[in-house]
Structure 1
Amino acid sequence: MAPTSTPQTPFGRVLTAMVTPFTAEGALDLDGAQRLAAHLVDSGNDGLVLNGTTGESPTTTDAEKAQLVRAVVEAVGDRAHVVSGVGTNDTRHSIELARQAQAAGAHGLLAVTPYYSKPPQEGLYRHTVAVADATELPVMLYDIPGRAGVALDVDTLVRLGEHPRIVANKDAKGDVAAAAHAIARADLAWYSGDDVLTLPLLSVGAVGVVSVVGHVVAAEMRAMIEAFTTGDTAKALAVHQSLLPVYTGIFRTQGVILAKAALNLQGHPSGPLRLPLVPATDAETARLKEDLAAGGVHL
């Protein structure tokens, strides 16, 4: 059973893009995934995004993606929104992944902008509608031009928001002004896709965050969002500023690398990474430890 949602917050307010645990030999660690998912929900997340970039989705097979969804839904499915990344730059493959995610029990889909091939806006629109039409699940767009190579224009976001199952956007565009214009026009719940921009995006109408730092500071992210939404902007700003070292620390290199390192430091190991990603070096881990400590994270 999926957790309760509202049109304003269809996936909750604080979701973490969960890393994918692997065994020492590099195999999918389903027991580890269930433990980590339960820990993240206990720590303050009301949603988990699986099979995204932070979950090393380019290196996991379709079968592993389905297994991961099933395991996490089994572990936390009645307490948290479980959203599965299904976006690729091949519409047919994305449709297959969407149907697979629904069969595995996902509560929603994350559809990243097709990457590398740089389709025009009409291609982006048709691709996303085809994915949304493939299942009965609600869809969160993922607008990340830094990785995809192309952005969703405001007019395209407005058109996509007219689809009954396209209900949200994860905004990693890094452009608060563009977000303000899109939020004002598009019928989409807006989620920050850049941790450090969560508070600025809340100020122009966002409702929550799909986070990486939520692996270690979900409760603080929730406190910031709740403070802002209840009108205590001074508290929200104070929490935001206290977390600046954490934002910096996790993103000194690829987020998944240091998210796994941070989990290791907290006693929640999630195993190695798959190439082409590599583990944090001793120096990177030492610097991360300093950053987390400066942000008030207990290690």
Structure 2
Amino acid sequence: MTSRTAAPFGRALCAMITPFTADGALDLDGACRLADHLVSRGCDGLVLSGTTGESPTVSDAEKAALVRAVADTVGDRATVVAGVGSNDTRHAVEQARGAEKAGADGLLVLTPSYSLPPQDAVEAHFRTVADSSGLPVLLYDIPGRTGTRIATETVLRLADHPRVVGVKDCAYDMLGSQKVISRTELAYYAGCDEFNLALYAVGGAGCVSTVANVLPGRPREIFDAFDAGDTEGARRAQLAATPLIEAMMASGLPGAVTAKAVLG
């Protein structure tokens, strides 16, 4: 069963937005400033080129450059997890190797999208990507965007892979999450801010937060209060974020446009 120490990438991770210049170029200076801001205010991990990071609009070369720049900026103050996503397994492998070479601490590997693969193919995809580098892997379960769920039984089988260490959970299935938490050592990270406290309370490792782009200290506040036995304080901190969670999830791309507008 997952323990409180089983948080391989930290507890309070931010799904970092990707800054761009006015002409659409990757803004590495802006990314480094943002990364430093997030870490200095409570985030102990940064996830790059995920959903909130608008990964489809970032080239492989830009993704590697982003990892390199952010990793150099935060050093050992925070982990850097690189998003890997493609419905072409070979391309996902290339991204994984590029992230490792650029200095990532781990990989967030997305379920293949659009093609609606069966579960044996989903499992094979994750195993192939996990085998392709020496980095630990978070499975990214977000069926509302990919069209394909990572079935609970598939996650349980993947738990035997030495480099599969956890799940970013955006599946809205607390029962399935609890089954895996109770039966494996996988670190479960809430990928939807409204579940940060609920998942943590049943043994989750932490969260990958979109809201942390605007309130970088909020996830840590929730978890610190809960760990201290202040469940009422944790509840208040979670509920206080509700208006911002709602606002950031109202757009088609959760959080990214809202966060950029707030942060300037």
TM-score bracket, shorter-length normalisation: over 0.9
Deviations 1:169-221, CA, capped at 9 Å, x for gaps: 00001121221122112331000000011111112221200010001212121
Match of 2:126 among 122, 125, 128: 128
SS in 2 for 1:191: strand
Match of 1:174 among 168, 172, 175: 172
The answer for the alignment partner of 1:81 in structure 2 is 79
- Measured in 1, the distance between the counterparts of 2:86 and 2:229 equals 39
- Measured in 2, the distance between the counterparts of 1:117 and 1:16 equals 29
Match of 1:94 among 72, 81, 92: 92
Q: Which amino acid aligns with 2:260?
A: K
- Measured in 2, the distance between the counterparts of 1:157 and 1:19 equals 28
Deviation (angstroms), 1:24: 1.2
Q: Which amino acid aligns with 1:105?
A: G
Deviation (angstroms), 1:7: 5.9
The answer for the alignment partner of 1:45 in structure 2 is 43
- Measured in 2, the distance between the counterparts of 1:54 and 1:144 equals 12
The answer for the alignment partner of 1:185 in structure 2 is 183
- Measured in 2, the distance between the counterparts of 1:154 and 1:39 equals 36
Conserved 8 A contact 1:158-1:187: no
Runs of 4+ in 1 over 3 A off after TM superposition: none
Give 1 or 2 for the bigger CA radius of gyration: 1
SS in 1 for 2:76: coil
Match of 2:103 among 97, 102, 105: 105
Deviation (angstroms), 1:241: 1.3
Q: Which amino acid aligns with 1:133?
A: D
Greater relative contact order (CA < 8 Å, ≥ 6 in sequence): 2
Give the gaps of 5 or more residues in structure 2. none
SS in 2 for 1:36: helix
Deviations 1:241-291, CA, capped at 9 Å, x for gaps: 111111112112132111111212xxxxxxxxxxxxxxxxxxxxxxxxxxx
Give the length in aligned residue pairs.
259
- Measured in 1, the distance between the counterparts of 2:65 and 2:91 equals 17
- Measured in 2, the distance between the counterparts of 1:62 and 1:55 equals 13
TM-score, length-scaled by structure 2? 0.95
* 1:141–1:96 distance in 2 versus 1, CA, 3 Å: same
SS in 2 for 1:217: coil
Deviations 1:218-247, CA, capped at 9 Å, x for gaps: 212101011112322111111111111111
Conserved 8 A contact 1:19-1:259: yes
Give the gaps of 5 or more residues in structure 1. 1-5, 265-299
- Measured in 2, the distance between the counterparts of 1:99 and 1:7 equals 28
Deviation (angstroms), 1:44: 0.8
Q: Which amino acid aligns with 1:162?
A: D
Match of 2:246 among 224, 242, 248: 248
The answer for the alignment partner of 1:9 in structure 2 is 7
- Measured in 1, the distance between the counterparts of 2:107 and 2:154 equals 19
SS in 1 for 2:188: strand
SS in 2 for 1:235: helix
The answer for the alignment partner of 2:144 in structure 1 is 146
- Measured in 2, the distance between the counterparts of 1:7 and 1:237 equals 22
SS in 2 for 1:25: coil
Q: Which amino acid aligns with 1:99?
A: R
- Measured in 2, the distance between the counterparts of 1:260 and 1:243 equals 18
- Measured in 1, the distance between the counterparts of 2:96 and 2:231 equals 39
The answer for the alignment partner of 1:211 in structure 2 is 209
The answer for the alignment partner of 1:262 in structure 2 is 262
- Measured in 1, the distance between the counterparts of 2:40 and 2:198 equals 27
SS in 2 for 1:58: helix
Deviations 1:121-143, CA, capped at 9 Å, x for gaps: 11111100111111111111100
Conserved 8 A contact 1:52-1:85: yes
- Aligned-residue Cα RMSD (Å) equals 1.2
